[in-house]
A and B are shown apart, each in its own frame.
Chain A
Amino acid sequence: GNSVTQMEGPVTLSEEAFLTINCTYTATGYPSLFWYVQYPGEGLQLLLKATKADDKGSNKGFEATYRKETTSFHLEKGSVQVSDSAVYFCALSDRGANNLFFGTGTRLTVIP
């Protein structure tokens, strides 16, 4: 079946620290992978995506690389800002399912 396992939170970092949020997946086919972000009081927004092995998705300084050999899609940012405080969700879309399977989410708090 399809599933996503995400790093447990919450994560608290100081401004300008390096961020990694781990995500691994199980899929029956060759999924597309996504990171969604939910800012306080707002809906889910797509942060970045990758559709095939070795693809790197990037947006707003965040990056994630689709690693088929380790079934992972870890989210990274070199220098976080207070405005990055949010809940981050890893998700996959399998060709056979056409819907999104989400991880449990990781809450990030960045302190000045």
Chain B
Amino acid sequence: EAGVAQSPRYKIIEKRQSVAFWCNPISGHATLYWYQQILGQGPKLLIQFQNNGVVDDSQLPKDRFSAERLKGVDSTLKIQPAKLEDSAVYLCASSPGLALPNEQFFGPGTRLTVL
């Protein structure tokens, strides 16, 4: 079974530029998550989708971050404009659904450096 795919793996941009990340979850997984992991910290949820609907985006900085999952499969996360503090690893995860125990499967992440 293929795992969660993410691209690109690395991205370096200057502040105020825009960037987009892509995620393809495990086939058949209804729930998709985007996490931000700042160096030395645990992952923090940014947004959670159930199929193509948003379940939780309370921690998403909506003035600069946006995400979509139009067909309920793959997803994109965008930052515009980027700030220095957005430097982090952006992790995508998926799970079969909302039922517990909510075992999530993670992709390799995209490491973003904002200069």
Residues of A within 8 A of B (CB): 4, 6, 32, 34, 36, 42-46, 49, 51, 89, 91, 93, 95, 97-100, 102-105
- Cα–Cα, bound, A105→B91 (Å): 15
Does B21 interact with chain A (Cβ within 8 Å)?
A: no
For A103, the chain B residues whose CB sits under 8 A away are: 42
Apart from A51-B100, A99-B56, A104-B41, what are 18 other A-B pairs with CB-CB below 8 Å? A34-B101, A43-B4, A43-B91, A43-B106, A43-B108, A44-B43, A46-B103, A91-B42, A98-B56, A98-B98, A98-B100, A100-B45, A100-B102, A102-B42, A102-B43, A104-B40, A105-B40, A105-B41
Identify 24 residue pairs between A and B in the complex whose beta-carbon atoms are under 8 Å apart, listed by A's number: A32-B100, A36-B106, A43-B91, A43-B106, A43-B107, A43-B108, A43-B109, A44-B43, A44-B106, A51-B100, A51-B101, A89-B42, A95-B100, A98-B48, A98-B56, A98-B98, A99-B33, A99-B45, A99-B56, A99-B102, A100-B33, A104-B41, A104-B42, A105-B41
The A contact surface, by secondary structure, is strand
Q: How far is the CB of B90 from the nearest CB of chain A, in Å?
A: 12
Does B55 interact with chain A (Cβ within 8 Å)?
A: yes
Nearest CB in chain B to that of A51: its residue: B101
For B43, the chain A residues whose CB sits under 8 A away are: 44, 89, 100, 102
For B56, the chain A residues whose CB sits under 8 A away are: 97-99
The B contact surface, by secondary structure, is loop
For A91, the chain B residues whose CB sits under 8 A away are: 42
A99 near B107 (CB under 8 angstroms)? no
Give the interface centre of B41, B45, B100, B105 by most chain A CB atoms within 10 Å. Answer: B100
Residues of B within 8 A of A (CB): 3-4, 31, 33, 40-45, 48, 55-56, 91, 93, 98, 100-109
Nearest CB in chain B to that of A52: its residue: B101
B91 near A49 (CB under 8 angstroms)? no
Q: How far is the CB of A42 from the nearest CB of chain B, in Å?
A: 7
For B106, the chain A residues whose CB sits under 8 A away are: 36, 43-45
Give the interface centre of A32, A89, A102 by most chain B CB atoms within 10 Å. Answer: A102
